[in-house]
Amino acid sequence: MELFTTDKDFIKKIPEQPGVYRFYSPEADDLAGELLLYVGKALNLKKRIQSYFQRSHDLSPRISLMVKKIYRLEITVTENEVSALILENNLIKSLKPKYNIVFRDDKTYPLIRISKHAFPRIDKYRGTTNTASHFFGPYPNLEAIAQTLDMLQKLFKLRTCTDTFFNNRSRPCMLYEIKRCSAPCVALVTKNDYQKQVELALDFLEGRYSAIIDNLTQAMFQASDNLEFELAATIRDKIGLLKQISLSQIINNHKRPISTDLILIEATLEKVFIYLIIIRNGIYVGDNHFILDNVDNDPNQVFQVFLEGYYLKAQTTTKQIHMLFVLSPEFRNLFKTALGIQIIQKFSPELNQLYKMGQINLHKIMNNQKGHKDFIHAAQILAKKLGLDMVNRIECIDVSHNQGDNTVASLVVYENGVIDNSKYRKYNLASEVHGNDLLALKIVLNKRLTSLTIPFPEVLLVDGGLLQLRVAKNILIEHGLYGKIRPIAIFKGEKRNPLKDKVLLDNGLTFTLADEQILFKLLQSLRDEAHRFAITGHRKKQANKMTVSKLVEIPNIGVKKRRALITHFGSIREVAHASVADLQKIVGIGEVLANQIYLYFH
């Protein structure tokens, strides 16, 4: 339905039904010849649209300005407000109207999926949940999901391979060898026994640990009665692991372990801060935070946009959200009807304890946001000193080695007010560098500047003095990038006192902490973070080298056996602590070789 504001009676023509409305301005854009201003939803379209034109004094200055631009309306009537909510959300994402508050979250959160198959597969999954599989989550990151999958494989030995891989196997893969899969691909487990393990895995993911322990206890006694002592011992180990997991439940006094999202919200005049704690089956799975603009100084409106945007996209399996922030009954009812999620505004004592912990973390995030402003100010000061219009991105390079060995270089990134660890890079350098920091710097810069997949910075910060600065400048000139990228250097002060650090600019300027405190805080933070990241990489490389070298020293241990040992035990330390009997469990390691490995470490 199309209406024009030039028609004096256009309000009377609007239906009193649920639906979605769109406001347009005659201001032309390149695509449609007019500008889409706003997309909204309403239970009663007439009342909602009328409020824009008859109560202008209640509107924010931003929305009042928008209303003055409206010349055309498009109206879509829907069956109910739930359909309107979904249609509104889709239109906002696809059409990007100028005046809507938009929750932008590019992440897709991972789920655990157990497929519908004769021998179901368990794996991590991103995407829609409108298939016949079982889904659990979402999890805040891949690390959380990997830990859960690892636990499930240890306990229930379900396959993780694709159906194509499964259908074409003629012998078990390595996961069977390390006791992470029961090898249904080559019929080493019956369909009935495998299905029992699937059912136990489903119970595990739904938090029914006591039921699984009871089930396994009966199986352990039965195996013992049948003189299957090795099987009984395996089941006993599973029970012990499950009891350990159940102790990590922070909320386990309910008849069924609670799965909920606990949300905290605080607002300033500029920003709305949201902290999300994810609890599944009584266990703290993880947390996440979001910082949104406080448009029109209306945190309620911003929070509602967040809830709609996040939960329509996140494919969550939770059926409830706990919060203290007050939302209208109308919105809570709509949210429950549309998404099947109940918003609860009271806490149990356990949730209240979590809420207090969440407040501490949320306040830390808010304080970091204040630091964000300081960093932006610092970047503006640096831009002025270098004669640049702006500095949005700074990259800092540092090199770490141990007397020339295991050289690692790090690159850390400041961008738009944040030192962003998601953009860090690490470079493993060849042994011929052998402690030559200037050569290492040249190699890393050449690698970095030939990588066109990462945006270039306006400023390149190197750890060192005049020599390092000259090397960086010459490399930039060779690549034709000097001027587009400006090199600067920071070096330690007298007796390595950070208060006496100095910064060198490529235009000859030098300054200290006393001269520019805010700028120094940013540059020192970058240098220290690059140093930390480089040392971490160097130590890891050194540890890996030591691990491999120790196993290489043992006769008759080839690449496959070394890999099998580390895969099974997890680290060289665990291999060293393993008994002869444990070592013999690895395929290819018999009694003689197991004794040889044991004697080497003891």
Q: Which of 200, 216, 247 is the last residue of a domain?
A: 247
Sequence letter at residue 359: Q
Phi, psi of 271 (to 5 degrees): -135, 155
Q: Using one digit for the tens of pLDDT, what is the confidence trace for 264-305?
A: 999 887 788 999 988 877 777 778 888 888 888 889 989 999
Residue 75 located in a structural domain: yes
Q: Does residue 138 have a cis peptide bond before it, meaning omega lies within 30 degrees of 0? A: yes
> Averaged over 227-256, what is the pLDDT?
70
Q: Using one digit for the tens of pLDDT, what is the confidence trace for 103-132?
A: 766 566 778 889 988 999 998 887 777 777
| 211, 309: one domain | no
Domain containing residue 561: CATH number: 1.10.150.20
pLDDT at 435: 65
| 523, 559: one domain | no
The residue range of the domain holding 486 is: 393-543
Range name among 66-75, 236-245, 509-518, 535-544 with the lowest pLDDT average: 535-544
> Averaged over 45-57, what is the pLDDT?
82
Q: Which of 247, 281, 298 is the last residue of a domain?
A: 247
| 410, 510: one domain | yes
pLDDT at 283: 75
Angle at 31 (CA atoms; ends 30, 36), nearest 5 degrees: 100
Extended beta strands in 467-591, E state:
486-491, 502-505, 510-512
User: DSSP character for 119?
Assistant: S
- Residue 535, classified by CB atoms within 10 Å of its CB into exposed (0-12), middle (13-18) or buried (19+), is middle
Residue 169 located in a structural domain: yes
pLDDT at 546: 46
Tell me which residue of 341, 355, 204, 365 sits closest to 277, measured CA to CA: 355
User: DSSP character for 489?
Assistant: E
Residue 377 located in a structural domain: no
| 537, 419: one domain | yes
In the block, residue with structure tokens 């609007």: 14
Mean pLDDT for all residues in the chain:
82
pLDDT at 458: 95
- Residues β-bridged to residue 394: 414, 459
Whether 30 shows a pLDDT value over 50: the answer reads no
Whether 593 shows a pLDDT value over 80: the answer reads yes
| 21, 76: one domain | yes
| 228, 276: one domain | no
Whether 551 shows a pLDDT value over 80: the answer reads no
pLDDT at 116: 87
- d(Cα 424, Cα 374) in Å, to the nearest integer? 21
Tell me which residue of 549, 547, 535 sits closest to 406, measured CA to CA: 535
Range name among 65-79, 246-260, 374-388, 478-492 with the lowest pLDDT average: 246-260
pLDDT at 543: 47
Q: Using one digit for the tens of pLDDT, what is the confidence trace for 183-200?
A: 999 999 999 999 988 988
> Averaged over 350-375, what is the pLDDT?
81
Residue 372 located in a structural domain: no
Tell me which residue of 73, 75, 93 sits closest to 84, measured CA to CA: 75
- d(Cα 515, Cα 224) in Å, to the nearest integer? 77
Whether 541 shows a pLDDT value over 50: the answer reads no
Q: Which of 205, 222, 247 is the last residue of a domain?
A: 247
- d(Cα 108, Cα 113) in Å, to the nearest integer? 15
| 472, 427: one domain | yes
Residue 332 located in a structural domain: yes
Rg of the chain over Cα atoms, rounded to whole angstroms, equals: 30
Per the model's pLDDT, the better-predicted residue between 508 and 248 turns out to be 508
Which of the four pLDDT bands, split at 50, 70 and 90, describes residue 547? Answer: very low
* pTM above threshold 0.85: no
Which of the four pLDDT bands, split at 50, 70 and 90, describes residue 431? Answer: low
HSE-CB at 407 with a 13 A cutoff on CA atoms is: 19
| 121, 241: one domain | yes
What is the percent of the chain where pLDDT is above 70?
Answer: 87
Whether 590 shows a pLDDT value over 90: the answer reads no
| 419, 511: one domain | yes
Tell me which residue of 217, 165, 184, 52 sits closest to 118, measured CA to CA: 184
Residue 253 located in a structural domain: no
| 539, 557: one domain | no
Residue 376 located in a structural domain: no
Q: Using one digit for the tens of pLDDT, what is the confidence trace for 441-500?
A: 898 899 899 887 788 999 999 988 899 999 999 999 999 999 999 999 998 777 667 677
Domain containing residue 521: CATH number: 3.30.420.340
Which of the four pLDDT bands, split at 50, 70 and 90, describes residue 254? Answer: very low
pLDDT at 360: 87
Whether 365 shows a pLDDT value over 50: the answer reads yes
pLDDT at 31: 47
502-505/19-25 β-pairing = unpaired
Q: Using one digit for the tens of pLDDT, what is the confidence trace for 407-418?
A: 788 899 898 888
| 452, 522: one domain | yes
Backbone region of residue 39 per phi and psi (left: phi > 0; alpha: psi in -120 to 50; beta: other values): beta
- d(Cα 336, Cα 319) in Å, to the nearest integer? 9
- Residues β-bridged to residue 418: 415
Which of the four pLDDT bands, split at 50, 70 and 90, describes residue 538? Answer: very low
pLDDT at 489: 93
273 close to 366: Cβ distance less than 8 angstroms: yes
Whether 315 shows a pLDDT value over 70: the answer reads no
Which of the four pLDDT bands, split at 50, 70 and 90, describes residue 370? Answer: low
245 close to 151: Cβ distance less than 8 angstroms: yes
| 350, 234: one domain | no
Q: How many domains does the chain have?
A: 5
> Averaged over 426-438, what is the pLDDT?
72
pLDDT at 498: 67
Range ranked top by mean pLDDT from 14-18, 500-504, 528-532: 14-18
pLDDT at 434: 66
pLDDT at 106: 55
